[in-house]
Amino acid sequence: MTIEQNIQSAEAIIFASGDGISFENLKNVIEIDDKQMEYIFSTLEEKYNTEHSGIILVRNGGTVSFVTHQDTADMVYKALNEKKNSPLSNAAMETLAIIAYNQPVSKAFIEQVRGVDSNSSVQNLLHKGLIEEAGRLEIPGRPISYRTTPVFLRNFSLTSLTDLPKIKSEKETVQISNDISLGEEKYDFDA
């Protein structure tokens, strides 16, 4: 295939994948090497990642996907009217912050930090696809551990977990649940 056909194929596959496709899978399907894959990504980013495009190409860790440009996100949300994307409660945000900064973690750890039962928050985050099971911990009882997902990264406009805001001090790690909220309140993080 020509490079133009490879670009067209990659574009169609990424679009159809919805939540994204791994670089390796895409390379194997199109049968190209790393250098050609980088050229394809650069070409698609040049095409889509402009202020005039309604969608952008995003690389998240080892995956690539098309996402809605932030300037059009509200209109897309209204058009689709998805209940799944309803705002997170304060309890869910606290739980998500604990998981994001300490992953993988058990529900018992989350509840120890929060001081309350967190089952409904964990179930809500699982339902929204923001977290996933990460296996079982090698401790007595072998509890299920949880970690964030690429959906979490995409929804919070992060490329990787290293892009999470830095917490002011280790002592405030436990207090992070008091500092994070949605809406108009500020995040209490160092930039």
Please name the helix (run of DSSP H) or strand (run of DSSP E) that holds residue 68, with its range, or none.
strand 63-68
| pLDDT band (50, 70, 90) for residue 169 | low
pLDDT digits over 73-106, tens only? 888 877 766 555 578 889 999 999 999 999 999 9
Is the pLDDT higher at 167 or at 148?
A: 148
Distances (CA, A) of 158 to 146, 150, 191: 19, 9, 14
Distances in Å between the Cα of 100 and the Cα atoms of 25, 44, 93 are: 26, 30, 10
Give pLDDT, residue 81.
63
